Amino acid sequence: MLTHGHEDHIGALPYLLRQTSVPVYGTRLTLAFVADRLREHGLLEQARLTSFKPRDRFEIGPFGIEPIRVTHSIADGIGLAIDTPAGTIVHTGDFRLDPRPIDGETPDYSRFTELGERGVLALCSDSTNVDRPGHTPSESEVGPALAPRFAAAQGRIILATFASHIHRIQQVLDLAARYGRKAALLGMSMMEKNVRIASELGYLRVPEGLLEPLEAVAALPASRQLIVSTGSQGEPNSALALMAVGEHKDVQIERGDVVIISARVIPGHERTVGSVINALFRLGAEVLYEDNAFVHVSGHASQEDLKQMLNLTRPRYFIPVHGEYRHLLGHARLAASVGLPPERVFLVEDGQGVVYVKESEEMLAELKAAVSQALAERDPAQPFDREVVGALVKSAVRRFIQQRFQRKPIVLPIVLEVPGAARG
């Protein structure tokens, strides 16, 4: 079940599908990116790809699956409502709440609200931007912010962004058309490929006659050139990095050129991006990037958006997902600030265990025996006390799990008094 087509969400598929043949579900654009990837690996023929649309509910085994529209830094993203025999799980996928997305596909606030009214057992929500106060600005603010740059630039404009950021690319191509520039796409074939896929499927509208091969664009006066490139993370062999060191075969940076890095720096890439920026400035370019100009908005929800998601879905339990430990913890605290009791929030890191009951009957029987033994050792003279019994169960389960799996579990004992049952 794919929520969107970003690299960190589909990149492992060819390796997974080589080992096991499972059906893959996603929206049209997501699956088009996936299909392209699988074709490269020679796996497309045998792959079982099924596309779905937001609000089209379907069933797989005991689960009811409903994709729900969300907005993100790639088109056609969704979250999921998964009906299970135990209750409904809502997974947001990567998201922001953009009230004015470029394609008009607003997040499905009303569906999240309905699910909240019906009862959500657990919410799993994107934690990436939990440190940012306020709301994440709309994607539709980026184009107008870039327009004066296009209006003022005398030289070439080189804009680096992610090849999958279809709505950013859309706005930039529209600006080029408006300000009389021709555009060339550059970078590891990804940029060209994604633009082709997205425009074939109607997710991107390329203005008539705008795109030209690089050689044709490079032959125009600098003031009529736009180059859309990858390399926003300073990747060593990317077009942008080669331009920065004067080694790109077709593009030599000159005084008056404007380089716009319209992307966030992914943590860990600060130094390489920094050195690319320094080198571009040294060559005489004006460089605009997130720290010195408004050239980018994030694809992830900020604090107020995250609170809104919690308030719409009103889950019984909350599991912060997607982010480093600090983000998950921050998101857990944010949930507490909107009234979720801490014992209903689970901080679970990748690799932490879930026990599949059917396949673990033996282990569960042993666990049961360990708990019974702990309870049997209770002083029979003591009066029955829920808290004492709860604490005994908790420590017995913890001890068992720690010894068996070297993990520290969160144990939530629920002690039920059965009327008329013998005590002790």
Residues that bind Zn ion (CB under 5 A): 6, 94
Nearer to Zn ion (CB atom), residue 27 or residue 88? 27
Nearer to Zn ion (CB atom), residue 72 or residue 149? 72
Question: DSSP assignment of 85-150, as one string?
Answer: TTEEEEE--S-B--SS-TTS----HHHHHHHHHH-EEEEEEE-TTTTS-S-PPPGGGHHHHHHHHH
DSSP 397: H
Report the residue count for the chain.
Answer: 424
Nearer to Zn ion (CB atom), residue 163 or residue 285? 163
- As beta bridge partners, residue 79 has 68
Return the number of other C-beta atoms located less than 10 Å from residue 338's C-beta: 14
Q: What are phi and psi of 223, to 5 degrees?
A: -70, -5
Smallest distance from Zn ion to CB 95, Å: 9
CA separation for the pair 226, 246 (Å, rounded):
18
CA separation for the pair 369, 363 (Å, rounded):
10
C-alpha separations of 7 from 46, 55, 73, 297, 327 in Å: 21, 25, 12, 19, 20
Smallest distance from Zn ion to CB 409, Å: 30
Smallest distance from Zn ion to CB 291, Å: 22
Nearer to Zn ion (CB atom), residue 6 or residue 165? 6
Smallest distance from Zn ion to CB 74, Å: 6
Smallest distance from Zn ion to CB 4, Å: 6
Nearer to Zn ion (CB atom), residue 6 or residue 149? 6
CA separation for the pair 220, 174 (Å, rounded):
19
CA separation for the pair 278, 322 (Å, rounded):
32
Nearer to Zn ion (CB atom), residue 6 or residue 96? 6
Nearer to Zn ion (CB atom), residue 6 or residue 111? 6
* Helix ranges, 236-324 (H): 239-244, 270-282, 303-313
Helix 190-200 crosses helix 28-40 at what angle (to 10 degrees)? 140
Nearer to Zn ion (CB atom), residue 77 or residue 155? 77
Contact by Cβ (8 Å): 246, 280:
no
Smallest distance from Zn ion to CB 19, Å: 24
CA separation for the pair 165, 266 (Å, rounded):
15
Smallest distance from Zn ion to CB 290, Å: 17
161: nearest Cα among 263, 311, 29:
263
Nearer to Zn ion (CB atom), residue 54 or residue 155? 54
Q: Helix, strand, or coil here: 393?
A: helix
Contact by Cβ (8 Å): 226, 183:
yes
Smallest distance from Zn ion to CB 72, Å: 6
Nearer to Zn ion (CB atom), residue 156 or residue 300? 300
Smallest distance from Zn ion to CB 76, Å: 12
CA separation for the pair 73, 70 (Å, rounded):
10
Smallest distance from Zn ion to CB 142, Å: 17
Smallest distance from Zn ion to CB 299, Å: 6
Nearer to Zn ion (CB atom), residue 75 or residue 288? 75
CA separation for the pair 190, 194 (Å, rounded):
6
C-alpha separations of 32 from 107, 203, 226 in Å: 22, 11, 27
